[in-house]
Structure 1
Amino acid sequence: MTQYTALITGGSKGIGADLGQRLIQRGYTVVSLSRGTPEWSHDALHHVEVDLTDAKATEHAAKDIATTHNITHLIHNAGVIRPNLVEEATTDDLTALTQIHLGAPLILLQACLPNMKENQFGRVLFNGSRAALGVPTRTAYSATKAGIIGMARTWALELAQYGITVNVVAPGPVQTDNFWDIIPRGSEREAELAKRLPVGRLGTVRDISNAFMFFCDPENSFVTGQTLYVCGGASVGTLTL
């Protein structure tokens, strides 16, 4: 197989856009799923507008994509945070984030899996989070991002026999719109957070897409079921003496 097609959720901007552009540079076709129009364009980019919190809409989109494209790489990058303290957390938060972080990739994989099995090849990747280890104000987000790790490990065991690897990239604080929705861009709070990270800076979109590119590589077939924290050392520990 020489032609690869990557399905990227949230491929319209940020990490998903950077990854999509890099894959296209390597000759891939990219199908992007997002609620908004991509902030970039290319002849090899195909955009499908869908709200991944809507299971039925996601099922329809997944069926259409699997019919018209031979998906070799499924990259679930889209995510929502919904930050709040435990007193304000709701079951609606859990339901919505469970669908977008866990339900959507399940629906998409089930649609793409027959072709992957037939090809005896596939790369399934998740954008997880350092928050899976726990962060204040992240009840629903941490729970569902932690769920991604368990689901990915299970899929890795089930699908390895078909040449399909499943891995998680778990970013720490990264300069994206989701981050700046919570911590104002250029603020003192942002600067203080960067200082507290062992590497002394915030992550960039390119830092994260670098890790995704490793797992996407067809030559990397001996790594599966793993979670790689790309977090500037934030997952190592928070105690400073």
Structure 2
Amino acid sequence: MADRVAIVTGAARGIGAAVAQRLAADGLAVALLDLDEQGVLDGADKIVAGGGRAIGLKVDVSDEEQVDAAVAKVTEKLGPPTVLINNAGVLRDNLLFKMTTEDWDTVMNVHLRGAFLMSKAVQAHQTKEGFGRIVNLSSTSALGNRGQANYSAAKAGLQGFTKTLAIELGKFGVTVNAIAPGFIATEMTKATAERMKISFEDLINGAAQTIPVARVGQPEDIAHTASFLVSEGAGFVSGQVIYVAGGPKD
């Protein structure tokens, strides 16, 4: 994988940052994309300081012009990207009767439109190279979760998107899979605790009691799974949704 170039969206913090660091450790050159420019620049600097190759770019993944420009920049600076981690995401939680159209559209645009635009731009390089790995970040919320009609629908949509791309791109040497994390301790779940008006520690402890392995997940748990799915050895794994949640999910 030393000659491969990966793009990780939503890479400024949390799961995206952990995945970017892990792929760099695996020997890939990594482009970190996020609206948080300083976050991805710091992440890229960390990779470079460790002897890797990386760049950080400020990108709105729901904007087609920005996506196309970013992929062109990655190609120019690092080489043709053949590995894509669609991780960018936002929360706009609310019960249906309180949810605004803007809240719905924002979540759909980042998760679904963003994954579509990024995958469309990157697949041109993957099919040309005859190799590709796309990993979409879904969620256990795809199975339904109170107060997340927009997020659940988007994450379920990503699973259908994953399976369809696996069918379309397989003959070009491209695999497409999804990771569906359960409770992962990140800034996003910390914000959930704040909205619920409870401490993050209480939220973590409560969640851990419902998880068979008796702990919540860490960003590195997702990074390990992504590392396998983008590897040469995962070439016969495609169209799958892997629940990384500390136990079985229906």
TM above 0.5 = yes
1:69-110 alpha-carbon deviations (Å, 9 max, x no partner): 310101011111211111111222222111111111221222
For 2:155 and 2:122, locate their aligned partners in 1 and report how far apart those are by CA, in whole Å: 22
Q: What is aligned with 1:164?
A: 174
Q: Which residue of 1 aligns with 2:163?
A: 153
Provide the residue aligned with 1:132 in structure 2.
Answer: 142
* Aligned counterpart, 1:101: 111
Whole-angstrom distance in 2 between the partners of 1:177 and 1:55 = 27
* One-letter amino acid matched to 1:145: K
| 1:67 to partner: Cα distance | 5.0
Q: Which residue of 2 aligns with 1:117?
A: 127
Moved more, 38-47 or 137-146: 38-47
Match of 2:209 in 1: 195
User: SS of the residue aligned with 1:32?
Assistant: strand
- Deviation per CA, 1:129-183: give whole Å up to 9, x if none: 0000001110100000000000010000000000100000000011001111002
Distance 1:147 1:91 in 2: 18
- SS of equivalent residue, structure 1 residue 214: helix
Amino acid aligned to 1:158:
E
Moved more, 60-69 or 17-26: 60-69
Equivalent residues in 2 for 1:1-241, closer than 5 Å: 2-36=2-36, 37=38, 38=40, 39-40=42-43, 41=45, 42-43=47-48, 44-66=53-75, 68=77, 69-184=79-194, 186-233=200-247, 235-236=249-250
Q: Give, in angstroms, the shift of residue 196 of structure 1.
A: 1.6
What number of residue pairs does the alignment pair up? 236
In the alignment, the residues of structure 2 paired with residue 53 and residue 21 of structure 1 have an alpha-carbon distance, to the nearest angstrom, of: 24
Give the structure with the larger helix fraction: 2
Matched residue of 2:227: which SS? Answer: helix
Q: Deviations over 1:182-223 (max 9, x none)?
A: 025543233122112222211111111111111011121101
Residues 94 and 140, structure 1, Cα contact 8 Å, conserved in 2? yes
Give the letter for the 1:110 counterpart: K
**Letter in structure 2 aligned against 1:93:** D
Gaps of 5+ in 2: none
Aligned residues of 2:178 and 2:242 also touching (Cα < 8 A): yes
Q: CA deviation at 1:55?
A: 4.1
Say if 2:82 and 2:123, in contact at 8 Å, map to a contact too: no
Say whether the 8 Å CA contact 1:53–1:97 is kept in structure 2. Answer: no
Identity across matched positions, percent: 32
Q: 1:183 to 1:120 in 2, by over 3 A?
A: same
The residue type paired with residue 189 of structure 1 is: L
Relative to structure 1, the CA distance from residue 191 to residue 165 in structure 2 (aligned partners, 3 Å threshold; closer, same or farther) is same
C-alpha separation between the residues in 2 aligned to 1:189 and 1:98? 26
Write the distance in 1 (CA, Å) between the matches of 2:219 and 2:245.
12
On the 8 A contact 1:126/1:169 being kept in 2, the answer is: yes
Residue 234 of structure 1, CA deviation: 6.0
Q: Which moved more, 1:24-33 or 1:44-53?
A: 44-53
Instruction: Give the Å deviation of 1:2.
Output: 5.0
Name the CA distance, whole Å, in 2 between partners of 1:223 and 1:135: 28
Q: Secondary structure at the match of 1:16?
A: helix
